Every structure is written in structure tokens, then in C-alpha cells.
Amino acid sequence: MSTLAGRVALVTGASQGIGRACALALAEAGATVALCARNEAKLAEVAAEIKAAGGVAHPFALDLGSEESIQACAKAVIAQLGKVEILVNNAGITRDTLTLRMKRRDWDDVLATNLTGAFLMTQAVMGSMLKARWGRIINITSVVGETGQAGQANYAASKAGLIGLTRSLARELASRTITVNAVAPGYIETAMTAVLTDEQRTAMTLQIPLARAGTARDIASAVAFLASEEAGYITGHTLNVNGGMYMG
């Protein structure tokens, strides 16, 4: 059923992993999807995959570390597709190391992309939602934004910041029928976790009551629900999708 027919969604980091899965799920639900990321070749592949399945998607270049790129991307999407009603702030980077060894650049790059980038993209498309008096903003945070993680002070801070941003925006935008929520993945099989050793994977899985790693589709299904009309009375919420790894 095309529950999002006629809606326009923008997904950052849509070239792979969770972002790609979110784009596919939103397109399956009937939305026209703006695919935004740095790797234009991969975006073209995702767009072709969506079109082959009968959906509609368009690639747009985006570097979340650049305010100019964010503004240009948002303008291009609205100019071509007419509006943005659903925003999925998914793109993120890591620069893992212990705090004692962390360089200022490692801190700044992660915060600039993961948190400031999400803020600037939200700000850039917010006017379209306010005009329509309807919108869905979904921020992809992380379990480590709730629990903390040794060696990831920058990443955990950026993801915790997204939760605070989510709650603040939810209060600001509720009167215009714009909901703002976050999805917090746990251990998910993506390119970002592919670098883990077998021992690390085993140790991680032992912390999960459901005894398995999650998939990008698990996250995408949560995002598609929060983007739907059925989730219209949910705002300011962080939905944990982690197999029970963290219950808080």
C-alpha cells in the first residue's frame, strides 16, 4: 500500500547502508525520494534500483561538512521536486580513538557532519514543511548516544546532541503538524561495522538479548513508520532499534 504517495522525502547518506535502506523503504511506501550523499556514482545506482522496482528517486550531491553544499542541495531538491515533507538525517562519520589521543580535527569533523550538518539541513528544508503545515523529521542517532562508548567520545557526543536537537525541534514545530523523532540503532551490519574483528562481533552479539546483529532494513522499517500518518501522534521520541542491547 502506498502510504506515502505524493510525499517527497530527502535522505542524507543515501548511497549505502542505513541511508540506502531508508530510501528504498520510503520509495516502496510511495514517496518520491531525494537521494543525497557525496558519492554520486553510488547514488545513481540506488536511484536505478528504486526505479527498477517502480519507485521514483533522484540523486543530489551533498557534503554535510560544508554549509554551502547543504544549502545548494536543499535548494536543488526543492527546485526540482517542489517540496520536502520528510527529512531523514542519516549521514554520519566516525573518527574513533581514545579521548587522550583524539585530535581537535577528529572532534570537529565528527560534530560538524553528524550534528551541525543535521541542524543545517533541517533548517534548510524546514520552510517547505512550515508552508505545508505537515512534516516528518527523523534523526538517526545511535545507542552510544545514550550509553556512551570508550574510544568514541566525539561520535557519542554528536549522537547525544541529535537526541537533544530532536526534542527541542519537536517542541518548536508541533503546532504546524510537524513531528520530530529519532531512531537509535544498536549493532547493525553495515560498512561502518564491517571493520570489526570476529572477536568483537561475538562480544557485541553477546550483549544483545535477541542474539543477533540488526540489519539496515530493521532501521528503515522504523523510519518508514515514523514518516507515516500512523505515527502522527508521536513526536520528541527516540525509538531504540537495538535488539534489547540497551533498554532505557
Phi-psi region at 54: left, alpha or beta (left = phi > 0; alpha = psi -120 to 50): left
The question of whether 155 is a catalytic residue gets the answer yes
| DSSP helix, strand, coil percent of the chain (3-state; round to 5) | 50, 15, 35
Can you tell me the distance from the alpha carbon of 123 to that of 71, in angstroms, rounded to the nearest whole number? Answer: 9
CB 33 within 8 A of CB 26: yes
Helix (H, G, I), strand (E, B) or coil at 8: strand
- Sign of the dihedral through C-alpha 35, 63, 80, 140: positive
Residue 157 is placed in which grid cell?
557526543
The catalytic residue positions are 155
